Amino acid sequence: MSEAFNVTEIFGENVFNDTVMKQRLPKKVYEELRRTIDKGVELDIHIADVVANAMKDWAIEKGATHYTHWFQPLTGVTAEKHDSFISSPGTDGKVLMQFSGKELVKGEPDASSFPSGGLRATFEARGYTAWDCTSPAFVKQDAAGAILCIPTAFCSYTGEALDKKTPLLRSMEAVNTQALRILRLFGNTTSARVTPSVGSEQEYFLVDRKKYLKRKDLIFTGRTLFGAMPPKGQELDDHYFGTIRERIASYMKDLNEELWKLGVPAKTQHNEVAPAQHELAPIFEEANIAVDHNQLIMELMKKVAGRHDLVCLLHEKPFAGVNGSGKHNNWSLTTDDGINLLDPGKTPHENVQFLLVLTAIMKAVDTHADLLRESAGNHGNDHRLGANEAPPAVISMFLGEQLGDVLNQLINTGNATSSLKAGRLQTGVSTIPNIKKDATDRNRTSPFAFTGNKFEFRMVGSSDSVASPNVVLNTIVAEVFCDIADELEKADDFDSAVHDLIKKMATEHQRIVFNGDGYSDEWLEEAERRGLPNIKTTVDAIPALTTPKAVKLFEKFGVFTKAELESRAEVQYEAYAKAINIEARAMIDIAGKQIIPSVIKATIDLAGSINEVTAACEDADVSVQTELLQETSALLSETKVALAKLQDIVAEAADKEEGKEQAEYFKDVVKPAMLALRAPVDKLEMIVDKDAWPMPSYGDLIFEV
C-alpha cells in the first residue's frame, strides 16, 4: 500500500505557481510577469532570463535534468522533446546547468511529422513553440527522472496555428473583449477581464493488463473489434455509483496524488454506468488551464494504471453493447472579480443581464450548432453520438422548468413577471431535514444542458482534447455578444432596447430549446420539423468547419484564418481515414491469424469427438455435436468470405484521393464490411468452447477487473 500523504501539503508541489514565483523572483520581475499573465502585456526578454533561471533552479531541486516545451499538436495528444540543462563542457571538462530566457520563450522542435493539413510542406518544416505563461510550468516526475514542462503554443514559420492551444487563447481573448462590452453597458466599470471557466468530467475504463495484452484489438485500436455480449451487461445499474473495489480505489488514490502534485484539482470520483467504467471530475478552472489539466489527467490515468497492472481505456466505445465514455464540458463565463455571467440569481426574470447572456447563448448555439457538433466529432465518438446512451447527434439546449417558464413569459407576453420557486424537498422522514431543492430537475439526455450556473456540453468524446469545443463556444458567444453590443451601444433607450433584444432572440431561437427526452425517436422527428441539423457522423460534420458562415465567424475574431480552417478539416479527414484503416487491418489480422485457426481447431475437435463417440458406441446420439459442427463450419465459412471481402475493400482505399474522398470511403464502405466480419465471429464466440477462444471475453474484461 502506498503511504499516506497530506493533501494540502502536496497540492501543487510540482507547479511553478504564483506562490513559488513570489518566493523566487525579485519583486519587480514578479510584478512584470504577473502583468503579462493577467493583462497580456508583452514580456521583456531580460525578465524572461530571470524567470528562466529561477524556474531552472526550482526544477533542479525537484530532480529535473531536462526541460521541454510541452505542446498540443493536432494529433490531440501532447508532445514533448526533452533538452537537458547542461552547457557545453568547459576546458575543465565540466558542465553547468543553464536555461536562458530565450530557451524559455521560444523553441523549435523539428515539426515535420506533426499533422498540419497542408499548412506546411515537409521541406519547410519550421515550427515554433512559444511559452504560454498563463498556464503554469510544472515538473513531471517518473521512473525516468524529472522534466520541467513549459506549456507552449505551436505555430508555423508564418504564424499559422498548428496546435489546439493557439486558437483557444485567441478565442478566450475574443470572448473577453466582447463580454466586457456587455458588462460596461450594464454599468459595470470594475471587472477587468472575463474568462471562460471549464470543468471537464472525464470518463474512462480500466481493464486488467494481462488480459489486455491478449487482445490485439485493444492494443492496436483502443477498442474491441470483436466480442459477444456477456450474459450480464449494465442492465441492473449496479455499477453506477456502486462501491469502488479495492484495486480500483487504490488506483484512484495514486492518481489523485499524482494529479494534486501537479496542481490539478481532482475532486470527484465514482463508478460509471458500465461495468469497469469510472469517472473523474476536477474543480473548474480557466479554460486554458482546464484544457492543459485535462491532458494531464488523461496522461496520468494511463500512466498510473500501468503501476497497478491495469490499462486505462480512453476510447469512446471500447465495448459494443455497454455505455461508452464521454467528457462533459462544463462552461461558464466569470469575471476577474468573481461574477459568473451565467448565474441567474434567485429571480431570473428580474436579472436582465442574465437573460441577455442566456438568450445570446441560445442564438449562438442555434446559429452554429453544426460547429459545436463538429467540435465533438472523432471516429470513436461516432459509436456514441446518436446511439441510445450518449446525447443524440442533434444539438439542442435544455433550460429546465424555471428558465423555460421565464422565456415563455417573455415570448408570449413580452414581459417576464415571475420565476418559479425552488421549494423544499419533503423526505417524509422526520429526522432528515427538509432540504432546499434546485429550481430545476436534471436532464441527462440533453447535449447542451443548463445546470444551475453553467452549461454542460455533453457530446465531447472521452479521448479528445477539450480545446476544440471551447474554441467554438467562446467564439460563437463572442460573435453574438459583439452584435448585441453594436446594437445596444447605439440605443437611445437602453432599457427598452435590451428588453426588445432579449425577446427577439428568445423568439427567434426558441427552436433550439428542448426539455424532453433527447433519446426518443419523437424528438428526432420533432428536431427535423424544427430544422435542426442532425449530423450523424464525424465525416459528415467536418464540412461545417469551412462553410462561409464559419470562415466569417472565425476570421472576424482572429481565431482561425480560412487556411487554418481548411487545414484542420484536412487533418480530421486524414485522422478518421487512418483510424478506420488501422481498425480494419487489425480485424483482418485477428480474424486471419487468431480466430479462423482457433475455430478450425474447434471443428477438428468436434469432428474427432463425433468419431470417438461413435467408435465407442455405434448408435450413440451425436446430433448435438453434429449440429454444432455444422453451425460452426457455416459461420467459419461466412467469416472467411467476409474477411476476404474486407481485405479487398481495404486494398481499394489506397486508390481514393486522400482527405474527404478517402474518409467517406472508410465510413460508407469499409465500416459496413467490418461489421459484416464481426457478426459471424461474435456468433462463433457464443458456441465455441471458451478454452478454445483465442482471447479474453467481454465478461473476462469488464467483470473481472
Q: Give me the residues that bind ligand ADP (CB under 6 A), please.
A: 197-199, 201, 268, 281-284, 330-332, 340, 451, 453-454
Smallest separation (angstroms) from ligand ADP to the CB of 169: 18
257 with 5: CB under 8 angstroms?
Answer: yes
Distance of alpha carbon 559 from the chain centroid: 20
Q: What cell numbers appear for 629 in the block?
A: 459442427
Residue 295: partners with Cβ closer than 8 Å, 6 or more residues away: 72, 77, 78, 465
**Residue with smaller CB distance to ligand ADP, 297 or 541:** 297
Name the amino acid, one letter, at 261: K
Question: Is residue 458 close enough to count as binding Mg ion by CB under 5 A?
Answer: no
Smallest separation (angstroms) from ligand ADP to the CB of 322: 21
- b/e per residue 234-263 (b: at least 16 CB within 10 A): beeeebeeeeeeeebeebbbbbbbbbbbbb
CA-CA distance, 553 to 557, in Å (whole number)?
7
Smallest separation (angstroms) from Mg ion to the CB of 328: 5
Smallest separation (angstroms) from ligand ADP to the CB of 452: 7
226 with 590: CB under 8 angstroms?
Answer: yes
**Residue with smaller CB distance to Mg ion, 115 or 282:** 282
Q: For 110, which DSSP code?
A: B
Smallest separation (angstroms) from ligand ADP to the CB of 458: 9
261 with 10: CB under 8 angstroms?
Answer: yes
| Four-point Cα dihedral 566, 569, 571, 573, nearest 10 | -140
Name the amino acid, one letter, at 532: L
**Nearest-CA neighbor of 348 among 422, 288, 414, 264?**
422
Name the amino acid, one letter, at 470: N
CA-CA distance, 122 to 259, in Å (whole number)?
37
Residue 121: partners with Cβ closer than 8 Å, 6 or more residues away: none
**Residue with smaller CB distance to ligand ADP, 458 or 678:** 458
- Determine the Cα angle at 313 with ends 227 and 278, to 5°: 100
Q: Report the partner that residue 347 touches, choosing among ligand ADP, Mg ion, none (CB closer than 5 to 8 A by kind).
A: none
Question: Is residue 328 close enough to count as binding Mg ion by CB under 5 A?
Answer: yes
Helix axes 671-687, 562-590, angle to 10 degrees: 30
**Nearest-CA neighbor of 580 among 668, 644, 648, 641?**
668
Q: Report the partner that residue 140 touches, choosing among ligand ADP, Mg ion, none (CB closer than 5 to 8 A by kind).
A: none
Q: Report the partner that residue 454 touches, choosing among ligand ADP, Mg ion, none (CB closer than 5 to 8 A by kind).
A: ligand ADP
**Residue with smaller CB distance to ligand ADP, 16 or 448:** 448
Q: Report the partner that residue 609 touches, choosing among Mg ion, ligand ADP, none (CB closer than 5 to 8 A by kind).
A: none
671: helix, coil or strand? helix
**Residue with smaller CB distance to Mg ion, 391 or 659:** 391
**Residue with smaller CB distance to ligand ADP, 163 or 456:** 456
Smallest separation (angstroms) from ligand ADP to the CB of 272: 13
Which stretches of 179-326 are assigned E, i.e. beta strand?
194-208, 266-271, 277-282, 285-286, 310-313
Smallest separation (angstroms) from ligand ADP to the CB of 673: 39
CA-CA distance, 563 to 74, in Å (whole number)?
15
Q: What cell numbers appear for 577 in the block?
A: 481515414
Q: Report the partner that residue 501 touches, choosing among ligand ADP, Mg ion, none (CB closer than 5 to 8 A by kind).
A: none
Smallest separation (angstroms) from ligand ADP to the CB of 431: 26
Q: Report the partner that residue 340 touches, choosing among Mg ion, ligand ADP, none (CB closer than 5 to 8 A by kind).
A: ligand ADP
**Residue with smaller CB distance to Mg ion, 325 or 567:** 325
**Residue with smaller CB distance to Mg ion, 215 or 328:** 328
**Residue with smaller CB distance to ligand ADP, 167 or 344:** 344
Query: Regarding beta strands 310-313 and 194-208, do their DSSP bridges make them parallel or antiparallel, or are they unpaired?
Result: antiparallel
Q: Segment near Mg ion (CB under 5 A), from 16-24, 31-39, 322-330, 598-606? A: 322-330
**Residue with smaller CB distance to ligand ADP, 107 or 282:** 282
CA-CA distance, 78 to 135, in Å (whole number)?
15
Smallest separation (angstroms) from Mg ion to the CB of 118: 38
Q: Segment near Mg ion (CB under 5 A), from 304-312, 320-328, 494-502, 562-570? A: 320-328
Question: What residue number has its CB nearest to ligand ADP?
Answer: 199
Smallest separation (angstroms) from ligand ADP to the CB of 299: 18
Q: Report the partner that residue 32 touches, choosing among ligand ADP, Mg ion, none (CB closer than 5 to 8 A by kind).
A: none
**Residue with smaller CB distance to Mg ion, 178 or 329:** 329
CA-CA distance, 566 to 117, in Å (whole number)?
8
Q: Segment near Mg ion (CB under 5 A), from 3-11, 203-211, 324-332, 365-373? A: 324-332
**Residue with smaller CB distance to Mg ion, 14 or 330:** 330
Q: Report the partner that residue 453 touches, choosing among Mg ion, ligand ADP, none (CB closer than 5 to 8 A by kind).
A: ligand ADP
Q: Report the partner that residue 335 touches, choosing among ligand ADP, Mg ion, none (CB closer than 5 to 8 A by kind).
A: none
**Residue with smaller CB distance to ligand ADP, 453 or 633:** 453
Q: Report the partner that residue 386 touches, choosing among Mg ion, ligand ADP, none (CB closer than 5 to 8 A by kind).
A: none
- b/e per residue 60-73 (b: at least 16 CB within 10 A): bebebbbbbbbbbb
Smallest separation (angstroms) from ligand ADP to the CB of 265: 8
Q: What cell numbers appear for 532 in the block?
A: 435542426
Q: Report the partner that residue 127 touches, choosing among ligand ADP, Mg ion, none (CB closer than 5 to 8 A by kind).
A: none
Residue 594: partners with Cβ closer than 8 Å, 6 or more residues away: 216, 694, 695
Smallest separation (angstroms) from Mg ion to the CB of 452: 11
- b/e per residue 440-457 (b: at least 16 CB within 10 A): beebebbbbbbbbbbbbb
Question: What residue number has its CB nearest to Mg ion?
Answer: 328
Smallest separation (angstroms) from Mg ion to the CB of 442: 9
**Residue with smaller CB distance to ligand ADP, 458 or 568:** 458
Smallest separation (angstroms) from ligand ADP to the CB of 342: 7
107 with 129: CB under 8 angstroms?
Answer: yes
Q: Label residue 41 left, alpha or beta by phi (over 0 means left) and psi (-120 to 50 means alpha).
A: beta
Number of H helices and E strands in the chain, helices first, is 24, 15
Question: Is residue 327 close enough to count as binding Mg ion by CB under 5 A?
Answer: no
Smallest separation (angstroms) from Mg ion to the CB of 329: 10
* φ and ψ at residue 72, rounded to 5 degrees: -125, 80
**Residue with smaller CB distance to ligand ADP, 73 or 282:** 282
Concatenated DSSP letters for 612-627? HHHHH-TT---HHHHH
* φ and ψ at residue 421, rounded to 5 degrees: -90, 155
- Interface contacts to Mg ion, rule CB under 5 A: 328
